[in-house]
Structure 1
Amino acid sequence: MTNRDDSVDPVHRKASFAQTVRAVLWSFIGLRKGSEHESDMARLNPVHVIIAGLIAAAVFVTVLILVVRTVVSQS
């Protein structure tokens, strides 16, 4: 008989980093079902969420800068 505890230490949750990146990218877009959000909160590692969020934000800002430089240099 296994004793499953839903209050697992947040750092030792079982979602992979790829699953975390997927959840972070969906949150950037703003399209999330409430049920998916709740299930993600139970299994995502908060450290992975922070790292994925910082990486996604850096990529987003870099893409914006490159687009602006391309548009400005062509005009």
Structure 2
Amino acid sequence: MPNKRSFIGTLVAIAWSFVGLRRKKDFDVDADGAFNPVYVIVAALLGVAVFIGLLRLAVHLALS
């Protein structure tokens, strides 16, 4: 079993996944269980908050 990713490592892996740029080797490591499920949930909530914030900013700038 591979070493678990740190919280920062999880954030980086998820950020690269959002962009669509992941190496096959990294994906294979993640698929083998390198992610801590709690870190993934927290990272997802942070990602959603940032995404909504950027959308609100874009709308605000478009309407002003």
Fold conserved between structures, TM > 0.5: yes
Partner Cα distance (2:29, 2:18) in 1: 18
CA RMSD between the two structures: 1.7
**Sequence identity, in percent?**
41
Residue 61 of structure 1 aligns with an amino acid whose one-letter code is I
Matched ranges for 1:16-27 at <5 A: 16-27=6-17
Count of residues paired in the alignment: 63
Runs of at least 5 residues in structure 2 that lack an aligned partner in the other structure:
none
Higher helix share: 2
Structure with the greater relative contact order (CA < 8 A, sep ≥ 6): 1 or 2? Answer: 2
TM-score by length of 1: 0.71
Partner Cα distance (1:49, 1:56) in 2: 10
TM-score by length of 2: 0.81
